Amino acid sequence: MTHTEAHLLLQVNAQGHAVEGFRFALDGASLDADFWARDIIDLPQLKKFRFKFEINAEDIDLRVNAFTSKWEDLDDLLAHGTVSAFKADSNEEENATVREILETEKTADRDTGASIRWSLQADGKKGLKLVLQSLPRPANRLKKDPRLAADSSATVHLQTFALTTTMCSTYPCVGPHPVLFARDPEAVKAILSKTPEAVHTGLRRVLDLIAEPRGLHLDEANEFIKDPLSTNTHHPFTLDHDSGDEGTSKKRKAPLDLDSGDEGPSKKRKTPKNKKGIFQPKHCKLSEKYGSENIPTPILNLIKKQIKKNSTLKTQKKLRKVCRKLVAKSIAKSTWNRYNSAYKLWLAYQKSTNTKIIGFPQNEKIAFICWCKANKTLKSQTISMYISALGKIFNLCTENNALFASSLLKGIKNRECKSTSNRSKTVPLDFFLLKKIKNQLKKSNKSTTDKKVLWTVCVLAFWGCFRLGEILPKKKYTFDRFSDLLGADVSVRGGP
């Protein structure tokens, strides 16, 4: 293989949503980079030295949820033999000599040194590139400053390598085509075939982060490190507000699939921004605590069979749909997910014991407990929870019409009133910790708008005696209008 390939690995959950986990994996040829010492460190004794960096593409460890590897000291790379030092045109290795010079200089100034890392960047809008970056400081100094450790930090660009990447040009996911990973690939594939847009929000979040940072000369880098102010980093894959549907066909194709990248039908979707181009969150049905789409597919199939047993509902498609949605709303989303875990384990038990069981009889319950102990590392509390969940699933999917009717009424009740969302426990703040947060915000490289928003949330929560879960939605880019705090729920009054 004479070229280097980059693959975007993206983790999705059971609902097809891209979660926080992603990383880029590299594969291909060995990469050789040649550069001079005068390009990365300002030491007269090293001006005549040049360096050679040899590494296999698959050995480059780009960090999870990031586009760069960690900063590594030039001294350490020379000690491990990853980087070789030569004097001018000589082919005789001088690693020991260069290390001795660096050690001598460090005794006088602890900030003497240079660090190197790999960075995956956008190559305009046409693809990706791999850049060998450097800054004239030791790695421990750079890691302490989040502005210098950031993927978008300006650096010295030592050498650039073109990457071969499968690109997607279909709106709204213009950029590298992802390879999706899920615990249950078949179930997620079925979900995405019906609602391919479920993964778009999370994928767009990753694509929007792919940057094309500014390159510096060594003298510029020395000044930048002293005051690493945020720079206007270019993000080529960020969608323009007015772009969207221009030049695209009416029959859209979904850019995502769990297999080799086959494209399927997709719905037309606008970017959630207002007229000024500012992002605005939208209500998402899949984020609702008591939503109509919360039932996992395996359990949904059981409930559909039970609904069809009713002689009236069997012929009324519209009523069957209403019934299914009410059952979904009768139980919280987190509880449905717990039921799904229990049901999957029950199916695994049947497969392992080569049995096909109807319902959840008492004798099989005993055998199931023994099987869990023998084949799974589950605690007694977890097994007890699964037993309870399976009992409720099969009670709901039997001829117990009273229980089924009770679930329908509960589903109606949950939609009639706003449900209280699950509150996550937070560490209480005191006044001194609030001041520390303010100081850290001042030092951060976030935009002025982000700083104001974060500070407003902190002050409102502190002086209003709120928990963050009481004023913020559970998801980053969506909210549940039935259980999350909205502007319409707040009234501001003046003092007496």
Tens digits of residue pLDDT in 104-140: 888 888 888 999 999 999 888 888 999 999 999 999 8
Summarize pLDDT for 4-16 with one digit per residue, the tens: 888 888 888 888 8
With a cut of 50, say whether residue 248 has pLDDT above it.
no
Q: What is the pLDDT of residues 453-475, one digit of tens each?
A: 888 888 888 888 888 888 888 77
The predicted-structure confidence for 191-204, as pLDDT tens digits, reads as follows: 888 888 888 888 88
Q: Does residue 423 lie within any of the structural domains?
A: no
Whether residue 101 is contained in a domain is answered as yes
Same domain, residue pair 314 and 340? yes
Whether residues 169 and 194 fall in one domain: yes
* SS3 per residue for the chain: CCCEEEEEEEEECCCCCEEEEEEEEEEECEEEEEEEHHHCCCCHHHCCEEEEEEEEHHHCCCCCCCCECCCEEHHHHHHHCCEEEEECCCCCECHHHHHHHHHHHHHHCCCCCCEEEEEEEEECCCEEEEEEEEECCCHHHHHHCHHHHCCCCCEEEEEEEECECCEECCCCCCEECEEEECCCHHHHHHHHHHCHHHHHHHHHHHHHHCCECCECCHHHHHHHHHCCCCCCCECCCCCCCCCCCCCCCCCCEECCCCCCCCCEECCCCCCCECCCCCECCEECHHHCCCCCCCCCHHHHHHHHHHHHCCCCHHHCHHHHHHHHHHHHHCCCHHHHHHHHHHHHHHHHHHHHHCCCCCCCCHHHHHHHHHHHHHHCCCCHHHHHHHHHHHHHHHHHCCCCHHHHHHHHHHHHHHHHCCCCCCCCCCCCCCHHHHHHHHHHHHHCCCCHHHHHHHHHHHHHHHHCCCCHHHHCCCCCCEECCCCCCCHHHCCCCCCC
The verdict on 337 and 374 lying in the same domain is: yes
- pLDDT for the residue numbered 228: 80
Residue 188 reports pLDDT greater than 70 = yes
Phi/psi for 342 (5° steps) reads -65, -40
pLDDT confidence of residue 273: 54
* Domain count across the chain: 3
Answer yes or no: do 56 and 31 share one domain: yes
Q: Residue 329: what pLDDT?
A: 83
Last residue of a domain, one of 390, 416, 442: 416
Q: Does residue 388 belong to any structural domain of this protein?
A: yes
pLDDT digits (tens, 9 = 90+) for 164-185: 888 887 777 788 888 888 888 8
Residues 366 and 442 in one domain: no
Q: Do 332 and 358 share a structural domain?
A: yes
Please tell me whether residues 408 and 449 are part of one structural domain: no
- Name the residue range of residue 186's domain: 4-226
Mean pLDDT of the chain, nearest integer: 80
379-398 pLDDT, tens digit per residue, is 888 888 888 888 888 877 76
Report the pLDDT value the prediction gives residue 393, as an integer from 0 to 100.
82
pLDDT, residue 255, reads: 39
Same domain, 411 and 312: yes
Contact status, residue 182 vs residue 12, Cβ threshold 8 Å: yes
Mean pLDDT of 403-430: 67
Q: Say yes or no: 309 and 376 in one domain.
A: yes
Residue 109, domain member (yes or no): yes
User: pLDDT band for position 492 (50/70/90)?
Assistant: low
Choosing from 226, 242, 257, the residue where a domain stops is 226
Indicate whether 368 and 439 sit together in one domain: no
User: Mean pLDDT throughout 467-485?
Assistant: 79
Q: Of 226, 244, 262, which marks where a domain is finished?
A: 226
Q: Is 233 a domain residue?
A: no
pLDDT at 68: 93
Same domain, 222 and 350: no
Mean pLDDT of 57-64: 88
In a domain, 290, yes or no: no
Percent of the chain predicted with pLDDT > 70: 84
Q: Is residue 292 part of a domain?
A: no
pTM: 0.51
Does residue 408 form part of some domain?
Answer: yes
Residues 372, 410 share a domain: yes
